[in-house]
A = this chain, B = another copy of it.
Amino acid sequence: MAATIRDIKKRTGLSLATISKYLNGGNVLPENRILIEEAINELHYEVNELARGLVTHKTKTIGVLVYDIQCLFVGSMLHYLGMELHKKGYGMLICDSCNDEKLQKENLQFLLSRKVDGILVFAVGMHGKFLHAAKKANVPVVLVDRSFQDEEYDCVEVDNRTAIYRATNKLIENHHKKIAVIASNIEYTGRERVKGYSDAMNQAGLEIPKEYCKLGRHSFEHGYRGMKELLELEDRPTGVILGNYNTMLGGIMALNESGLSCPQDVSLIGVDNLPMTQVLRPKLWLIVQPMETMCEKAVAMLLERVNGEQNGMPVKISFSTSVREGDSIRDLG
A positions within 8 Å CB-CB of B: 46-51, 53-54, 59-61, 68-72, 74-76, 78-79, 82-83, 86, 91-96, 98, 106-107, 110-115, 137, 219-221, 224, 249-250, 253-254, 256-257, 275-276, 278-281
| Cβ–Cβ < 8 Å partners of A219 in chain B | 275
**What DSSP secondary structure best describes chain A's contact surface?**
helix
A48 near B115: Cβ-Cβ < 8 Å = yes
A253 near B280: Cβ-Cβ < 8 Å = yes
B83 near A96: Cβ-Cβ < 8 Å = yes
- Cα distance, A251 to B224, chains bound together (Å): 19
B49 near A113: Cβ-Cβ < 8 Å = yes
| Cβ–Cβ < 8 Å partners of A79 in chain B | 68-70, 96, 98
| Cβ–Cβ < 8 Å partners of A256 in chain B | 256-257
- Cα distance, A54 to B280, chains bound together (Å): 52
A50 near B47: Cβ-Cβ < 8 Å = no
Partner of A93, one of B70, B72, B91, B275: B91
B83 near A114: Cβ-Cβ < 8 Å = no
- Cα distance, A98 to B256, chains bound together (Å): 31
- Cα distance, A113 to B47, chains bound together (Å): 6
B96 near A110: Cβ-Cβ < 8 Å = no
Distance to closest chain B CB from A260 (angstroms): 12
- Cα distance, A299 to B276, chains bound together (Å): 31
Partner of A95, one of B91, B224, B249: B91
- Cα distance, A72 to B274, chains bound together (Å): 13
Partner of A250, one of B54, B91, B279: B279
- Cα distance, A250 to B281, chains bound together (Å): 12
Distance to closest chain B CB from A109 (angstroms): 8
- Cα distance, A69 to B79, chains bound together (Å): 6
A110 near B94: Cβ-Cβ < 8 Å = no
| Cβ–Cβ < 8 Å partners of A49 in chain B | 113-115
Distance to closest chain B CB from A185 (angstroms): 20
With A49-B115, A75-B70: A253-B279 Cβ-Cβ less than 8 Å: yes
With A220-B275, A220-B276: A110-B83 Cβ-Cβ less than 8 Å: no
A50 near B279: Cβ-Cβ < 8 Å = no
- Cα distance, A275 to B217, chains bound together (Å): 14
Distance to closest chain B CB from A85 (angstroms): 10
Partner of A92, one of B93, B113, B250: B93
With A95-B91, A96-B79, A250-B279: A46-B221 Cβ-Cβ less than 8 Å: no
A82 near B53: Cβ-Cβ < 8 Å = no
19 A-B contacts (beta carbon < 8 Å):
A46-B113, A48-B113, A49-B115, A50-B50, A50-B53, A50-B54, A50-B115, A69-B78, A79-B96, A79-B98, A82-B96, A83-B96, A83-B98, A86-B106, A91-B111, A92-B95, A93-B94, A256-B256, A257-B281
Distance to closest chain B CB from A247 (angstroms): 12
B91 near A86: Cβ-Cβ < 8 Å = no
| Cβ–Cβ < 8 Å partners of A94 in chain B | 78, 82, 92-94
Distance to closest chain B CB from A178 (angstroms): 25
Q: Closest B residue to A137 by CB, please name it.
A: B46
